[in-house]
Amino acid sequence: MHPIVAAALLLALASQAAWADPDALRRCRALADDAARLACYDAIATRAAAAAAAPGAAPAPAGGPSAARFGLPEEPSPVDRIESRIAGRFEGWGPRDRIRLANGQVWQVADDSRGAYWLDSPRVVVRRGALGSFLLEIEGVRALVRVRRIE
């Protein structure tokens, strides 16, 4: 996408989100101090840009990055990868299979890939892929599995 088109789209979305809260605009307009009024408008624009960049996402928790929320669609996570194990015997996967990790997370195969293996408690890494996807790397397996978190 052309940078100018992307900037215009972001500005339009941010403007729409800002106008969705007329009370915030009134509060800013009522401030007499120029610097305070500008800071108030900047805060509205920052919130609107964040909302436009992640539509439908809840605000990030104040506690910092959390691996427990990694992969869930409700909110963006600053964590880029997690490491765990598949507890017990792992015999492979097929389309839409669910893979439970030792940390309690459950990931579902999101592509049509298949693999047959006989592994004992292999280490796994789930990392971010392109366009919001996630890739599962399994110790002893050369293929990457595209997954989505369901629990």
pLDDT of residue 44: 76
pLDDT of residue 16: 54
pLDDT in tens, 63-81: 445 677 777 765 556 788 9
Burial of 96 (0-12, 13-18, 19+ CB in 10 A): exposed
Place of tokens 């892929």: 129
With a cut of 50, list the residues of the chain below it in pLDDT: 18, 60-64
